[in-house]
Amino acid sequence: MGLRRCVLLGLASVASLRRMVVNGDIALLAELEPVAASLLEKHLAATKPWHPHTFVPWSRGEDFEPGYEWDPRESTMSPEVRSALYVNLLTEDNLPYYFRDIERMFGRDGAWTHWTHRWTAEEARHAVAIRDYLTVTRAVDPAALEEGRMAQMCGAQVPEPETATDGLVYVTLQELATRISHRNTGALIEDRAGYDIMRRVAMDENHHFIFYRNMTKAALEIDPSRVVQSIEKEVVGFSMPGEGIPQFDSHAKMIASAGIYDLEVHYEQILKPVVLGFWDLENIEGLTPEAQQSQEKAAKYIAKSARVAERLKQRKEAAAAKAAA
Ligand SMILES: [Fe+2]
Ligand SMILES: [Fe+2]
C-alpha cells in the first residue's frame, strides 16, 4: 500500500478522533468507576505475567534469504488454521484504533484510564507472541502478512460503538468471541508450541471478557433501560473486529468451515450463556417502553439465532455421519 493511500485513509478517521466521551455517559461512568477499580484490582490479582519470547520455538527459525518466496509446504498447518491465525493476528494489530475508541468511550477518569492502558498493553503482547510464532515456523507468508498488516492498520476500519454502554456490551461479546476463536484455533494447530501460545492468549482474553461482562452487569443495575437498548443494538449488529482485513469474508468462511467460529458457536457460547444467562435479558424489569421494545427485539433475534444454530448443528452432524460411513 502506498504512503499516499495510507495517509488518505488515516485522514478519513480523523473525525472520530475528535469525538470525546458522549455527554450522557459522564454521570454513568462516574458511578461505575468504583466498580471498574474493583474489577481492575481483581484482574491484576488474577492475571499472571508472561513473556512471549519463552513461548516461541526460536530453534526452528532460519534467516530469510534475499528473494525468498514463501511456499505453503513449509508448514503442515491447514489453510483454515492459517486463515484463523492471519485474521486473529491482524485483529490484534489494530490496537491503536481500539485504544482510541475505548478511551473515547470510557474516558480518562480514575480506574478507567488504568484499565484502558493495561488492556492495551496485554493485547499488544498477543500480537508479539503470535507474530513471532508465525515468522519462526513460516506457517503463513510473511510478506502477505506484512502487507495485510499495512492495509488493515492504514484502513483503520474498526467497530466504533457510539456510547459507553454500547461499548461495554460490544467488547464483552468481542472478547469472548476472540477467546473462543484463539482457543479453537490452538486446538487445531497440531503443534505444541502453537497450541500453548494460543491457549495463553485465550486466557488473557477470558480475563478481559470477565471485566467487561461484569461491568455491563453493574451498568444494568444502575440504568437497565439504557443498557438493554445497547444490548439490542450490539447483539443485532454484531460483527467481529477483523472486518477491515483484506479478503476478510473468504477467511471468515474458512474459519467457519473448520468450526473455529460460526453461528452455532456464537449462539451456544455467547448469546445463550452471556446475554440470556448472565445478563438475564428476558427478565430485566423496570424498563422504559423504548427499552421494552429493545428487549423484545433482541430476544426475538436471539431466538432466530438459536434456530439457525440448530440447523447448522444438524447439517454438521449429517456431514460427519456421511464422512464416517
Ligand atoms: Fe488479544
Ligand atoms: Fe482481549
Alpha-carbon span 181 to 173, nearest angstrom? 12
Residues 181-203 have a mean pLDDT of 97
Q: Which ligand is closest in space to the CA of residue 212?
A: 2
Ligand 1 ion: Cβ-proximal residues, 5 Å cutoff: 92, 123, 126
Alpha-carbon span 314 to 187, nearest angstrom? 22
Domain annotation covers residue 17: no
Domain annotation covers residue 2: no
Amino acid at position 122, single letter = E
Domain annotation covers residue 132: yes
Residues 225-234 have a mean pLDDT of 98
Cα 201 to middle of ligand 1, angstroms: 7
Cα 209 to middle of ligand 2, angstroms: 7
Q: Tell me the pLDDT band of 17, cut-offs 50, 70 and 90.
A: very low
Q: Which ligand is closest in space to the CA of residue 94?
A: 1
Cα 205 to middle of ligand 1, angstroms: 6
Cα 207 to middle of ligand 2, angstroms: 8
Domain annotation covers residue 20: no
Q: Which ligand is closest in space to the CA of residue 102?
A: 2
Cα 178 to middle of ligand 2, angstroms: 7
pTM, two decimals, is 0.92
Report yes or no: 165 and 28 within 8 Å, Cβ to Cβ.
yes
Kindly report, residue by residue over 71-101, the tens digit of the pLDDT: 999 989 999 999 999 999 999 999 888 999 9
Q: Examine the pLDDT at 10 and tell me if it is beyond 80.
A: no
Q: Examine the pLDDT at 56 and tell me if it is beyond 60.
A: yes
Domain annotation covers residue 11: no
Task: Please give the pLDDT value at position 240.
Answer: 82
Domain annotation covers residue 185: yes
Alpha-carbon span 84 to 251, nearest angstrom? 7
Domain that holds residue 156: 25-60+74-324
Q: What are phi and psi of 5, to 5 degrees?
A: -65, -40
Query: How many domains is the chain built from?
Result: 1
Q: Tell me the pLDDT band of 243, cut-offs 50, 70 and 90.
A: confident
Kindly report, residue by residue over 134-167, the tens digit of the pLDDT: 999 999 999 999 999 999 999 988 899 999 999 9
What's the Cα-to-Cα distance from 120 to each of 12, 18, 197, rounded to whole Å?
23, 20, 18
Q: Which ligand is closest in space to the CA of residue 207?
A: 2
Alpha-carbon span 25 to 35, nearest angstrom? 15
CATH number at residue 107: 1.10.620.20
Cα 205 to middle of ligand 2, angstroms: 4
CA 199 to chain centre: 15
Task: Please give the pLDDT value at position 244.
Answer: 79
Alpha carbon distance, N-terminus to C-terminus of the chain: 49
Domain annotation covers residue 18: no
Cα 142 to middle of ligand 1, angstroms: 20
Task: Please give the pLDDT value at position 16.
Answer: 44
Domain annotation covers residue 4: no
